[in-house]
Structure 1
Amino acid sequence: MENRWSLIKSISDEPTGETKYLGIGDVCNTLVNYIQSEKIVTPMSIAIHGQWGSGKTNLLKALQKNLHENKTKVVYFDAWKHESGNPSVALVGKIMKELSGDTTMIKNVVKLAADALIRKTLDMQLDEVANRLSEGMEASESLSEVLEKKINREIGDDKKLIVLIDDLDRCDIENTLQILSLLKLFLDIKNCVCIAAIDFHRVEQAWFSKYGIKEAEESELKKEGRQYLEKIFQIRVPIPHPRNEQKFEYIENLMKDVPREYLDLFVKFGPSNPRAIKRTINLISYRSILCTSDDKEMTAFIWTLLDENFGSKELIKVYDKFESEGGFIQVIDGIQTDGNRFQNTMSSVHRPQNCKIKFQSMGNILEFFKTTSGMFREMTSPKGSIVKDFSKLYSSTKQLQD
C-alpha cells in the first residue's frame, strides 16, 4: 500500500447541481420528467424534504440546470439570503423581475405585496393600497389577482412557471410561516409549480414554537400545524439516503489517491450527510497541516474519525486513559495481542450514551481500533513522529474544550 498520500485538499461546500453521486440524479430526472409531462396538473406545490446538509440545495440547482427553457420559466430564490429584510416581499419582487422588464409595474406589485404581507392577510381585497397604486391596477385587485394576471400573460399555456425556493427552513419562524402563506397564492394560478427545499420536522417545530406547543403533547393546534403543511404541499419528495456503494463512490471522488481501507473506514464510521462528509474532509485537511510526520494525512484522518464518533470531550478522556496505560498508539497496538485488556481499558473510561450512534457498542469500537492498529503498522514514519502528531491533534482538540 502507498503510505504517503497526495495532500487531502479542502472542498468547497457550494452546491453545483451535480447529479452523478448519492442517487440525486434519479430524483432529479424523475422530477424533471414529471414537471415537463402532461401528467402534472397545475397549480402544484412540491416539497423537497431532507435534513440539514442532505443535498436539498444541490437538487434544486440540478433542477434549475435540467428543466428545459422551452418548456419552463425557472425562478430560483434563496429565502435565507433575504432574511434581514422581508423574504416574502423579496420573492414576489424576484418573480416579477423575471417575468417583466416594466420597473414601474414591479415597484407597484412589490408595494402591494409589502402591504399585504405586513397585514398577513394575503387574499384580502386591498382597496386602500390599490387606490394609491393606480398604475395599471384596478382598485378591486388583490395581490393574488395581480400575480395571476401577470403570470398568465407572460407564461401562457405553452410553458410552466417553476418557482424554486431554497433554505426556507433556515429562516426565522415568522418569515418561514409567512412564505408558506405566500405559497398559497400560487396554488390558484394555472401553469405554476412551486418547489421548496424544506425540512418538515423543523417547520413543524416552528409552528409548535409560534403557538407554544410542546413537542410531546397532542393537541388540535399540533394537528392543525401538520395539516397546514399537507395542504400547501401536494407532493413530498425525500432526499435519498445513500447506499454504502454510493457513499464510497462519492467519498472516493472527493479524496483521490486515499487507500481503499481508509475509504472503507470512512464509509462505515464517517457521516452520510453530503455536507457533513465535506466538513469532515475539510477538517482532516486542516488537521494534517498541524502534523509534521510523513504520515500526517493518515494520523489526521484517524483522529478526525475518532472525534466524529466519540465526540471531542469523550475522545479527550479516551486519549488521557490510553496515555496513562502506556501510550495512545501502544494501547491501540495491544488490541491485536490482548483484546480483553483493551476492552477492559475502554470500558473503564467509555460511556456509550456520550458517543454518536456508530460507537455506541463495544463491537464497533473494537472493529475500528483493530483496523486502526493495522494502519499504524503500515505507516513509514518513526513511531516518535506519529506520537507527536497525535499529541498535537490532542492538544488542538482539548483547547476547544477549555
Structure 2
Amino acid sequence: MAKIAPFQGLRPTSDKVSLVTTRSYDDYSTTELAYSLEFNPFSFLHILNPAYANQQKVNIEKRYKAVATKFLDFKKEGIFVKEDKPVFYLYQIESKNHQFIGILAGTAIEDYQRNAIKKHEDTLEYRVHTFKDYLHFTRFNTEPVLLMYPENLALNQWIADFKQRESLYHFSTSNKEKHTFWKIDDRADQQWLVEAFAAIEHLYIADGHHRSASAELLLNEEQSSNNPHLNYFMSFLIAENNIKIYEYNRLIHDLNQHSKADFLELLSEKFSVKNKKQHLWKPTKKSEFAMYLDGEFYALQLKNNGQIDDVLSSLDAQVLYTELLHPILGVEDLRTDSRIEYVPGTESIITIKEMVDSGEFEVGFMLYPTNVSEIKELADNNQIMPPKSTYIEPKFRSGLIIYEI
C-alpha cells in the first residue's frame, strides 16, 4: 500500500515559468551559469547560487541561510504563487525522442521506513547530512524523488483522460523540451488517485536516494516540532515502463603500470577480446563491453559468464569491476578512487574517444544499460547497485514546484 497526499505547492506565475525554471544546478558549465545569472533576473539559479562574496569561504550554515533569504525575496516579489489548498499535479515532458508523464505528490516517509518504497542504491552519509542541513535551513525542496510504479492500465487511462483538460502551463525550454503541467485540485480526482496508489504494494526509487534519506533524517531530528510537512517528501510518480535508463561509462587515468601488451594479455584471460579498429562500437546487449584504448575500439565478452546466478553479480557494472577494474587496473573504491571518472550514456561515445585521445585518460569502457527488472529484483532482495550504475530520465526542472517544510 502506497500512501500519497496532495500538498500546497509553490510555483512560478504563468508568465514567468519558462524564465524561472532551470535544469539541475550541476548541469550548468561555469560559462552557462554566469550567463544565466547575468541576463535572467528570474532564474531559479539566483536562489541556488545567492550573491555573496568569497562563496568558497562561506560555511554551510551561512550559505544555506543565504539561499533561504533569496528564496524569500522571490516570494516577496510575487515571482511565486502558493496554491490556496493542497493539490496534486500532472506533469509531461516531451523531448525529441521521449515523452514522460507522471503525478507529482507527497509520499509518506513512513512508507520509506517500512520498505514499501524500495531502494537499490547505497547512500553516502555525508551527502545525506549535507542535504538534511540544506532542508533544515532553507525550509524548502524543489527536487522531487523519482518513484516508479508497476504498469497500471487504470492509471494510464485516468492520465490520458485528464490530459484532455486545460493545462496550467505549456512552455518550451532552451534544450528543446516541451513541458505541460496540469493542476489536480478536484476532491474526487484526488481521492481516486489516493485509492489507486493505495492499491499498489510497492514503489521503487528510480532517482533520489539521498533526497529521501535526508527527508527521513530531518523528520527524525525535528519530530518534536509536530510539523506535518515533515512526514512527506515530494515525489514524481511515473510508470516503470515510462522511465529511460542509461548506463554510466567509465574512464580510467592509467593502466595501473601495465604496458598495453601486458594489459591486453591479462584482459584476454577473463574476456574474449575483438579489435574493432577505428569503428565506433558500443555494446548491443547485456554482458558485452566496449573498450577504447590507444586509438582503437575493442569488443569484450566475459568468458564463462554462465556461472553467475544472482542479479547483483550479473550486473554489467559489477562484472566490469570484479573482473577487470579491480583485479587488473587496481581500482579500489568506485566512489572515491581518483583514477576513475564517469560519463553518462546520454553522451556520445565520441566524447569517450576524445577524452582518451586527449591524453587525460588511458582507457575508456562503455556498458549496456541496466533494465527495470534488474533494479526491482535488487531492491526486492535488499541488494545495492555498484556506484554510478544508472543515469535515469526524466530529470525534473528546479523551481517548477516547491515543497515548503
Q: Of the two structures, which has the highest relative contact order with CA contacts closer than 8 Å and spacing of 6 or more? A: 2
Whose Rg is larger? 1
Q: TM-score, normalised by structure 1?
A: 0.25
Q: Which structure has the highest helix share of the two?
A: 1
Q: TM-score, normalised by structure 2?
A: 0.24
Q: Which structure has the highest strand share of the two?
A: 2
